[in-house]
């Protein structure tokens, strides 16, 4: 029996659905794509120095990248609803590779905006939407666990790519670091794209202990994906839940990306050496890995709203600590709390969207909602950079992030979600 249909365990008669292969491929793609995105913090100072930029302009590179990432999430989700994910990821993998190469070759500041903020964003931007939507379609009873596993790619990517990028910068220069990331991105994303399948209704994806059970399961999934009760994008736009989710994503991302973009530069400002400052991102990513698995697993039983609220409350508690953090140890303590909170963003946001709107039109709905996350993640770092340029510190930026998170917690309490897609498959 081919790999395209089943992977069999040697112990007993248990068979493993091809969904787990799809999950493994999506995890690897997530590690590479998000790891590259979240390594920007270690490039902040080299780019600032190379092109003579202010903090606001340097932040603007990342903010523009995040805006474009959010915009391309819409066609990315649309493409997933209509085309094979293999084709989608081949295109995004090539765009990612060329974007990184051209960034390393940039000679003028505007070159970076074109190669990084535009081309690289077109490659890595749709990845989160496509991966989380694809996994949501493959997994039902254990969807939260699956989303938690694949979202570990965010933490692993940060824990791995940031120190790799910083070590290459220290040994050579920032251009060599971008070239190395291009090689890694191509080597990971392209092979994994060819392991993907569209959804469980594909004949190669049926997972059952007998042919009759497999046929029954296939029919059930076709019925599920055609369920007319699940809202279209137009239907979703008419609901209060849609606009609540859009606002929550904006507010949550606003705070999260102030930290991800500026924490390394803030640490350097208070006297932490650059190599040690980069390890803050490693701590955040490392802590988030087991936390994502736990949160994903708990969301299957506790519910996405309750855990989302808990994650946001932890962030509210953590943020004020940056106002008096004066050494690396205090920043590490913050990183642990932040990592625990940040761990909930990817699996819980995906779970909230699926629970609210189902999976039939998940790609396009997810893509449109991703605009909220992209807007918050771009505006937050940009405002923080401007605040630093005016005041010479990030205190007001950290307070603004805390305030945004408090509002997000209040809005989460107003959400009312359904219970779509809770039928066994994987």
Higher pLDDT pick, 290 / 16: 290
Q: Are the C-beta atoms of 322 and 313 separated by less than 8 Å?
A: no
- 116, burial (CB in 10 Å: exposed 0-12, middle 13-18, buried 19+): buried
Say which residue the tokens 């990030």 belong to.
394
Rounded Cα distance between 190 and 92, Å, is 9
What residue numbers bound the domain in which 43 lies? 18-197+231-412
Rg, C-alpha atoms of the chain = 21
Q: Are the C-beta atoms of 293 and 148 separated by less than 8 Å?
A: yes
In a domain, 221, yes or no: no
DSSP string, 374-418: HHHHHHHHHHHHHHHHHHSSSHHHHHHHHHHHHHHHHHHTT----
Rounded Cα distance between 363 and 366, Å, is 5
Structure letter (DSSP) for residue 202: S
CATH of the domain at 317: 1.20.1250.20
pLDDT digits (tens, 9 = 90+) for 360-408: 776 778 778 878 888 888 888 889 988 998 998 899 999 999 999 999 9
* pLDDT interval class at 101 (50, 70, 90): very high
In a domain, 417, yes or no: no
Q: Comparing 20-24, 219-223, 284-288, which segment has the lowest mean pLDDT?
A: 219-223
Q: Are the C-beta atoms of 421 and 258 separated by less than 8 Å?
A: no
pLDDT at 45: 85
Rounded Cα distance between 424 and 241, Å, is 26
Rounded Cα distance between 146 and 142, Å, is 6
> What CA–CA distances, in Å, run from 144 to 82, 290, 306, 422?
25, 14, 13, 11
Length of the chain counted residue by residue: 426
Structure letter (DSSP) for residue 319: G
Report the percent of the chain where pLDDT is more than 70.
82
User: 36: which 2 tokens?
Assistant: 């590259």
pLDDT at 8: 42
Rounded Cα distance between 176 and 316, Å, is 38
In a domain, 5, yes or no: no
Q: How many domains does the chain have?
A: 1
In a domain, 214, yes or no: no
What torsion, rounded to 10 degrees, do the Cα atoms 53, 55, 61, 63 define?
-160
Q: CB-based contacts of 251: which residues, under 8 Å, 6+ apart?
A: 376, 404, 405, 407, 408, 411
In a domain, 423, yes or no: no
Chain-centroid distance, C-alpha 241: 21
Q: Comparing 41-55, 77-91, 187-201, 288-302, which segment has the lowest mean pLDDT?
A: 288-302
pLDDT digits (tens, 9 = 90+) for 152-204: 787 788 778 888 898 899 889 999 999 999 999 999 999 998 888 766 654 44
Predicted TM-score (pTM) above 0.75:
no
Rounded Cα distance between 133 and 137, Å, is 6
Is the backbone of residue 358 left (phi > 0), alpha (psi -120 to 50) or beta? left
In a domain, 422, yes or no: no
> What CA–CA distances, in Å, run from 387 to 306, 381, 393, 394, 398?
33, 10, 7, 7, 10
Rounded Cα distance between 177 and 199, Å, is 36
Pick from 62, 42, 281, 297: nearest CA to 156: 281
* pLDDT interval class at 216 (50, 70, 90): very low
Alpha helices in 83-194 (DSSP H): 85-104, 109-112, 121-124, 127-138, 143-171, 174-193
Range among 79-83, 287-291, 308-312 with highest mean pLDDT value:
308-312
In a domain, 207, yes or no: no
User: 38: which 2 tokens?
Assistant: 């979240």
In a domain, 7, yes or no: no
């Amino acid at each position: 029996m081919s790999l395209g249909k089943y992977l069999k365990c040697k112990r007993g008669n248990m068979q493993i659905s091809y969904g787990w292969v799809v999950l493994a491929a999506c995890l690897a793609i997530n590690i590479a794509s998000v790891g590259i995105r979240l390594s920007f913090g270690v490039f902040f100072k080299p780019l600032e120095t190379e092109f003579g930029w202010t903090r606001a302009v340097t932040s603007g590179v990342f903010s523009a990248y995040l805006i474009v990432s959010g915009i391309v999430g819409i066609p990315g989700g649309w493409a997933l609803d209509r085309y094979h994910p293999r084709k989608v990821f081949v295109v995004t993998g090539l765009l990612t590779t060329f974007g990184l190469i051209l960034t390393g070759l940039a000679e003028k500041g505007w070159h970076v905006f074109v190669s990084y903020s535009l081309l690289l964003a077109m490659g890595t931007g749709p990845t989160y939407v496509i991966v989380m939507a694809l996994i949501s379609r493959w997994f039902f009873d254990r969807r939260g666990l699956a989303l938690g596993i694949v979202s570990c790619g965010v933490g692993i990517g940060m824990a791995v790519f940031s120190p790799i990028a910083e070590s290459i910068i220290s040994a050579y220069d920032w251009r060599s670091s971008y070239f190395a990331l291009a090689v890694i991105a191509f080597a990971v994303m392209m092979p994994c794209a060819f392991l993907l399948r569209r959804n469980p209704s594909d004949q190669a994806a049926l997972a059952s202990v007998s042919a009759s059970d497999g046929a029954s399961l296939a029919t059930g999934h076709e019925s599920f994906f055609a369920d007319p009760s699940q809202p279209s994008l137009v239907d979703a736009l008419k609901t209060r839940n849609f606009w609540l989710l859009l606002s929550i994503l904006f507010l949550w991302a606003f705070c999260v990306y102030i930290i991800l973009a500026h924490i390394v530069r803030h640490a350097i400002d208070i006297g932490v050496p650059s190599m040690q400052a980069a390890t803050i991102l490693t701590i955040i990513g490392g802590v988030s890995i087991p936390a994502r698995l736990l949160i994903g697993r708990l969301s299957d039983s506790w519910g996405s709203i309750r855990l989302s609220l808990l994650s946001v409350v932890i962030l509210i508690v953590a943020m004020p600590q940056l106002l008096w953090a004066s050494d690396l140890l205090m920043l590490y303590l913050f990183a642990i709390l932040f990592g625990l909170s940040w761990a909930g963003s990817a699996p819980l946001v995906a779970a909230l969207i699926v629970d609210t709107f189902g999976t039939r039109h998940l790609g396009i709905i997810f893509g449109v909602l991703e605009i909220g996350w992209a807007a918050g993640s771009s505006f937050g770092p940009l405002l923080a950079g401007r605040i630093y340029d005016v005041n010479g510190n990030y205190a007001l930026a950290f307070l603004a992030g805390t305030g945004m998170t408090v509002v997000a917690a209040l809005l989460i309490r107003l959400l009312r979600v359904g219970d779509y897609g809770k039928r066994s498959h994987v």
